[in-house]
Chains A and B, each alone.
Chain A
Amino acid sequence: MTLRPSSDGAQAAHPVAHPAVEVEGLHFTYPDGTASLRGMSLSVQPGEKVALVGPNGAGKSTLLLTLNGILRAQRGAVRVFGQTLDDSTVRAIRAQVGLLFSNPDDQLFSPTVFEDVAFGPLHMGLPRDEVLARSREALAAVGMLEFAERPPHRLSLGQKKRVAIATVLSMGTPILALDEPSANLDPMSRRELIALLARLPLTILVATHDLALVADILPRSVLLAEGSVVADAPTMHVLNDSALLGAHGLEPLSAHGHPHA
């Protein structure tokens, strides 16, 4: 695994003193009036692997969408390596934060797998050779190199999911924000995904209901409910607190004994 942040990426450009992601007092309300984030605050250090857990509607996906400026919070601030997200920095921040949508069909829009994976690096204006190298490398990392010339909409869901991850990996972002990466995967694909995430040397935020995945590879857990943080602690503390989990619609791992994928 040689995928790494671009040489001219964030870690070189910004002093290590800054958190990778800093979210401060974020408020977001959808146009129909549904309040999704109500004063969310969170700080993630470079290299940390953090789980965002919580019931549906807790604001996990909304939070991820604000991290690279797809959604803009009405109040509060998002900082990535110390750089505040606004109109002038959003493009630069998208080179720092790679976002994986929960539904891979939302992510893929090109006629072939390879072109989809190459979109990010091409848009960044990288030289052709590097674009090709990165795209191949990313596809190899998710084991989809042999599908490079296929149209994405003909793949199985598990394959689409891996391609979607490759489209983000090829950008070489130092931060990955993943929305439900293991949802709807068969057990084997899910295993492979977990192994891949475990070995990526990046800052990773994962919004998920898959607590077995959380226990496996994400040492820190942030429990969200109704748009704010209700717990932020080492994963084992959060997952062993069955009263806390139960109060927020989650089941302790032992209760179902079997990871729900």
Chain B
Amino acid sequence: MTAFAAVVERYAARESVLHRADARAKVPAVFLTVLAVTSTREGDWLALALLVIPVVVGAYASKLGPWFVLRRTFLALPFVLAVLPLAFTRPGETVLTLPVVGWTASDDGLTAVATILARSWIAVAITALLVSTTTVVEILRALRTFRVPRLLVATIFFAYRYFFVIGEEAVRMLRARDSRSASIPGHRAGGTLRWRARVAGYMVGSLFVRSLDRSERVYAAMQARGYAGEPQFLDHAPLPVRQGVGAALVVAYAVAVQVGTRLA
């Protein structure tokens, strides 16, 4: 595995129940649980707290640990910024005013922001558990089992495959540049900002030319081995009943939380 792959690959090999579980059980369980989580009503803190429980249990069951899963969820942090304005735009009772700019945040606005943050965090954590315990090929295979259109599955497959192609090309190119980025006494190293920017621009250009070349070779090699528009997977063994039941229980719990807190 290259340095790039080691940093980017999401699958984290462990020996655990969750790793062994069939993707055909995990994928729908995660999909439906995320749906249930995202339907939590605004300000329903009890439901949110109850929905964190499966994440924590999953983190331990996968042997990844809560910190690992927490770190993986930081990927979603930038998107958090997008919901912040809601605190200032939603009408309601003013709870705080930003100094200098004078924007006012309403209680309803803050509740909405907090709920959206909690919901998305739980959803991302659940998804992180899935991708950390399941290889991409397994996930794609499960998607095909559930009749997700083959074009979509093939697109995801290629996006993933070529992401590594481009990433590895980029790493090589940066290494080549670093390797020749030297300084000698008595001279200011690094050239002008303009020159460096121009070199970086060329590098991005050649990165795409080369990635395209390489992806064509990868594609030709796939065709040479019989690729005809769909990733082929080894035949599935039947899904063990216990795993199906386990997946159903997780979904049932999430649905029960939603229904229960609405009735209470």
Contacts and interface: CB of A to CB of B under 8 A. Distances in A.
Interface in A94-120: 94-95, 98-99, 101, 103, 105-111, 115, 119-120
Interface residues of A, number: 40
A91 B189 contact: yes
Interface in B21-42: none
Given A31-B3, A110-B202, A111-B202, A120 B176 contact: no
A68 B179 CA distance: 7
B166 to A, nearest CB: 14
A9 B184 contact: yes
A99 B172 CA distance: 13
B6 interface: yes
Interface string A35-74: 0000000000000000000000000000001001010000
Interface residues of B, number: 33
Contact of B182 (A34, A101, A171): A171
Contacts of A99: 179
Contact of B184 (A8, A32, A65, A168): A8
A120 B182 contact: yes
Contact of A109 (B5, B173, B188, B195): B173
B202 A125 contact: no
Contact of B183 (A30, A111, A124): A124
Interface in A112-134: 115, 119-120, 122-126
A167 B180 CA distance: 8
Given A31-B6, A101-B176, A109-B202, A125 B187 contact: yes
B3 to A, nearest CB: 6
A123 B180 contact: yes
A13 B177 contact: no
A109 B176 contact: yes
Contacts of B199: 109-110, 119
Nearest to A32: B1
A67 to B, nearest CB: 10
B176 A95 contact: no
Highest count of chain A CB atoms <10 Å: which of B1, B179, B188, B206: B179
A126 B195 CA distance: 14
A108 to B, nearest CB: 7
B178 interface: yes
B203 interface: yes
Contacts of B176: 101, 106-109
A6 interface: yes
A8 B186 CA distance: 8
Contacts of A4: none
Contacts, number: 105
A245 interface: no
Nearest to B171: A106
Contact of A119 (B177, B187, B210): B177
B181 A91 contact: yes
A73 to B, nearest CB: 14
Contacts of A144: none
A120 B180 contact: yes
A92 interface: yes
Contacts of B209: 153
B190 interface: yes
Contacts of B180: 94, 98, 119-120, 123, 167-168, 171
B7 to A, nearest CB: 7
Contacts of B178: 70, 94
Given A31-B6, A70-B175, A108-B176, A95 B206 contact: no
Nearest to A6: B184
A105 B210 CA distance: 9
B216 interface: no
Nearest to B187: A125
A9 B183 CA distance: 10
A34 B5 CA distance: 13
B185 interface: yes
A167 B210 CA distance: 19
16 contacts: A8-B184, A30-B1, A30-B6, A65-B175, A94-B178, A94-B182, A101-B172, A105-B172, A106-B173, A107-B176, A109-B177, A109-B206, A120-B180, A124-B184, A124-B189, A153-B213
Given A31-B1, A125-B190, 19 more contacts: A6-B184, A8-B184, A8-B186, A30-B1, A32-B6, A34-B1, A91-B181, A91-B183, A101-B175, A106-B172, A106-B173, A109-B176, A109-B203, A111-B202, A123-B180, A125-B189, A153-B213, A171-B180, A171-B182
